[in-house]
Structure 1
Amino acid sequence: MKSLHLNMYKRINYITAVLIVLTSISVNAQVTTQSPYSRYGLGNVRGSLLPQLRAMGGISSGVFTPNGYSNINMQNPASYPGITHTTLDMGLSGGFTELKTNSATEKSFNSTLGHLAIAFPVVSGKSAVSFGILPYTQLGYSYTESETLADGNTYKYLNSGEGGLTKAYIGFGQQIGDHFRVGGNVEYIFGNLLESRSFEPQFAPSINSRVQNKNSVGGISYSYGAQYSIPLGRRKSITLGYSGSSSSSINSERTYIATRYLTDALGEESTALDTVSNIQGAKSKLRLPITHNFGFTYQKDNKWMVGADYRTGKWSNLIIPGDNDVLQDSWGYSLGAQITPDFTSINNYFKRIEYRIGFQYDKTYIMLQDQDINQRAFTFGLGLPLAPNVTSRTSAYKMNLTAELGRRGTLSNSLVQESYFNIHLGFTLNDTWFRRYKFN
């Protein structure tokens, strides 16, 4: 009994330490992406997806795994009743980006800690709880624009942005009857969006100017979902799913500073001459858009799964204090599949691996110069079983490795084409931490 208590205390201390570390990193995170398209709206929207779902193109609405290894699908909380073990999932992400115009090319690499999620059954196979923290949006860009006017003078505009929003959530899912499930998440979205635009005439004498705009965001939002499974015999089934998020209004505190400054012959910036405008702590509301996701999967338990999702977002209704970007509604779809040759194989490790592949396409909420900014990506990944805990036959470990090869934007109309190769790494633990033992 003492050994059991000691193991439980070690696990609780481990979770607490990881939560503190990831939370502090999320709060203080700076640039984790390099994308000029992240300057619009809230930045690049990440989606509530763990690596195992990203590898299948991001399908999630109809993903439900009632048997075998437990995975957390917080994108649709109706899937939580499929959690039959205490599940811990944490990971990190990195990406290579190439930005290309008709005249120049630039490459960069960024990485960040990705997510921490925990789930455990309340009544096994009937209800479960999940909570965690993960990125919601990412803002990061730095580029320069030049313009020569009719007077023959050249003017330079320096644009930069950094920050992003983080989502902390807690959710519950309940099975009703034999085939129907519902669930919901309460989410706290928080973070900072910091953007700067400088104006520097390229002639003397001249005075430069800069505008800095910061939105500090914090507030509650909600997401929800439902699933219905249709058994087809021989462990096969079709699952129909829906998930969505509400049009929530969350707090925003805006700081706006406009200054004038000089630069020397080497381009070094001097101390600001004066502050033209200084607005501190202007409180307002940021309204998030309502989103809908529809999807299905067709699967054979512990063997294979294929599925598709369709999603829409009412981003034209997004309201950001101090931002006049005109956004459009978005839509997209995902296709994905997974196969496990033989998850019970003892002699052949490769038969126990989960092989995943997918494709996704999105018409994003950005339109520039009458051109839709579309995004498409091929995805693939592996679920790699790790050695079980030799001191406890009730636990199992898995490493999920995912790659995304995608492109966003176009070279038409003097726009930017963004190509990226993202890597997501996650570690998943399944265990029976809260099992009640009997002693004779």
Structure 2
Amino acid sequence: MKFLYTNMYQKLRYTFVVCLLLTGAIANAQITLQSPYSKFGVGNIKGSLLPQLRAMGGISTAVNKVNFFNNINMQNPASYASINLTTLDIGMAAGFTELSNSTQKENSFNSTLSHVALAFPVTTKSALSFGIMPYSELGYNFINSTKVGTTTDNTKTVDYRYTGEGGLTKAYLGYGIQFGDHLRVGANAEYLFGNLLENRSTEYVNEPGAINSRLQAKNSVGGIGFSYGAQYDISLDSKTSIMLGYSGSSSSKINSKRSQVVTQYYNDSQGNEQTAIDTLVFVENAPTNLKMPLVHNFGISIQKNNKWLFGADYRIGKWSNLTIDNVNQGLQDTYGFSVGGQITPDITAINGYFKRVDYRFGFQYDKTYIQMAGQDIKQMAVTVGLGLPLSSFGRTLYKMNFSAELGKRGTISNGLLQEKYINFHLGFTLNDKWFSRFRFD
């Protein structure tokens, strides 16, 4: 008897090429985000969530499989232990943002490839996963105008210009394993990399002879951190169970290189910037680090197999400990919660496609790590989504997952800014059995 593997090698090679191409696209994606709040810390944190979890308000700590279909939940690597088919997930994201204060409004649009992730079982009770996705986004451009001077005759208008772009990307490799019938544990090794580019200029308005100055800073990040998790399920009957979950990330020091240039320059009579007349500071690729915070997530869910799931998460983060270039960033500790669920009317329905669709919904609330004018900046959103089964071919199953988030960050009171946003996430998930073998006589 001879045992022949399926075309596993060709599939892995194809997947590897796709992952490489998408990795380059994600890592070099142009961030067109316009969010003044991304100026703080490492930018706006994206979260390690695929569309199917975002649609449920972001619950993930106590979620692995709602039905027979496999999904990748890298937010809690313990969930990998429930994966019994090779699972590939590729997605994209887009969002509209309205930025406003008490007198003005401004709209922006941002789109990017959002993730690529692969998972496959190693044994009947363990699985391996790896992938790449955005970790944070940095994008802002605003001016703060003020008057300087001691008398009416020498008072001048000064523009303080702030711009930033870039962000961080996370690549991970994780493993999850089940012990006994109820306990699962797992861990991810995560490589965080990217560039944070920020400029700050001081310009005198309508003063052609005045000397202006600009600080240009670049932080090139590249280092390893770790996350981990556990899940424990309690059976209520043959189809219904409660799951308890925990996940967290370590307080890691991520290597980075800091470059900084301070220049002086003139503007001509039309306000156009001229060639720099002097360089006051020049630092290139000075080794330093970025100290990430300790983060904890706690979750609970109850589900009836192949029918429904409802759950809640609570999270806290020690972002007051974040340092960049050994300088504390003056951020606040965070906390937040998510609630959500999924309902599938009849997963076995032959007639009636929409009975087999997963209907998802949720709500999330967070106190962010930003405080301005003595006021905490808070964020909240309602979420909805669909899991749409696609045509299957043999043993290969496909599903398209869509989610939408309608939310806001900040407030217009006390002269602050408010962001209202609609984010869309689209993912394509494949389930297949790549590692089976056939017997020929």
Deviation at 1:322, TM superposition (A): 7.0
Deviation at 1:263, TM superposition (A): 1.8
Q: Is the contact between residue 386 and residue 399 of structure 1 (CA under 8 Å) also seen in structure 2?
A: yes
For residue 336 of structure 1, the aligned residue among 319, 330, 340 is: 340
Counterpart of 2:164, as a letter, is: G
For residue 304 of structure 1, the aligned residue among 304, 308, 312 is: 308
Please list every run of at least 4 consecutive aligned residues from structure 1 whose deviation after the TM superposition is greater than 4 angstroms.
Answer: 4-7
Counterpart of 2:128, as a letter, is: V
The 2-side partners of 1:117 and 1:300 are apart by 27
Deviation at 1:376, TM superposition (A): 0.1
The 2-side partners of 1:295 and 1:157 are apart by 44
Q: Is the contact between residue 139 and residue 164 of structure 2 (CA under 8 Å) also seen in structure 1?
A: yes
State whether structure 2 residue 410 is matched by structure 1 residue 405: no
- Give the aligned partner of residue 384 of structure 2: 380
Structure with more relative contact order (C-alpha pairs < 8 Å, separation 6 or more): 2
The 2-side partners of 1:331 and 1:277 are apart by 39
Q: Is the contact between residue 157 and residue 205 of structure 2 (CA under 8 Å) also seen in structure 1?
A: yes
Label 1:44 to 1:403 Cα distance change in 2 as closer, same or farther (>3 A): same
* Cα deviation 1:281-319 (Å, max 9, x = unaligned): 111121100000000110001110000000000000001
For structure 1, which runs of at least 5 residues remain unmatched after alignment?
none
- Give the aligned partner of residue 424 of structure 1: 425
* Cα deviation 1:49-94 (Å, max 9, x = unaligned): 0000000000001002175000000000011111111000010101
Q: Is the contact between residue 145 and residue 156 of structure 1 (CA under 8 Å) also seen in structure 2?
A: yes
The 1-side partners of 2:355 and 2:391 are apart by 15
State whether structure 2 residue 197 is matched by structure 1 residue 198: no
- Give the aligned partner of residue 394 of structure 1: 395
Label 1:264 to 1:277 Cα distance change in 2 as closer, same or farther (>3 A): same
Q: Is the contact between residue 116 and residue 131 of structure 2 (CA under 8 Å) also seen in structure 1?
A: yes
For residue 284 of structure 1, the aligned residue among 288, 297, 301 is: 288
Label 1:193 to 1:323 Cα distance change in 2 as closer, same or farther (>3 A): farther
Cα RMSD after superposing both structures: 1.6
- Give the aligned partner of residue 12 of structure 2: 12
- Give the aligned partner of residue 53 of structure 1: 53
> 3-state DSSP class of the match of 1:413?
helix
- Give the aligned partner of residue 219 of structure 2: 215
- Give the aligned partner of residue 251 of structure 2: 247
* Cα deviation 1:127-165 (Å, max 9, x = unaligned): 111000011111111111101235431110111101111
For structure 2, which runs of at least 5 residues remain unmatched after alignment?
none
Q: Is the contact between residue 92 and residue 425 of structure 1 (CA under 8 Å) also seen in structure 2?
A: yes
- Give the aligned partner of residue 153 of structure 1: 156
Counterpart of 2:182, as a letter, is: H
- Give the aligned partner of residue 104 of structure 1: 104
Alignment of 1:18-37 (within 5 A): 18-37=18-37
The 2-side partners of 1:103 and 1:66 are apart by 47
TM-score, normalised by the number of residues in structure 2: 0.96
The 2-side partners of 1:374 and 1:140 are apart by 19
Q: Is the contact between residue 172 and residue 190 of structure 2 (CA under 8 Å) also seen in structure 1?
A: yes
Deviation at 1:425, TM superposition (A): 0.4
Label 1:324 to 1:261 Cα distance change in 2 as closer, same or farther (>3 A): farther
The 1-side partners of 2:379 and 2:332 are apart by 15
Deviation at 1:30, TM superposition (A): 3.3
The 2-side partners of 1:66 and 1:184 are apart by 21
The 2-side partners of 1:108 and 1:241 are apart by 37
Q: Is the contact between residue 64 and residue 239 of structure 1 (CA under 8 Å) also seen in structure 2?
A: no
- Give the aligned partner of residue 360 of structure 1: 364
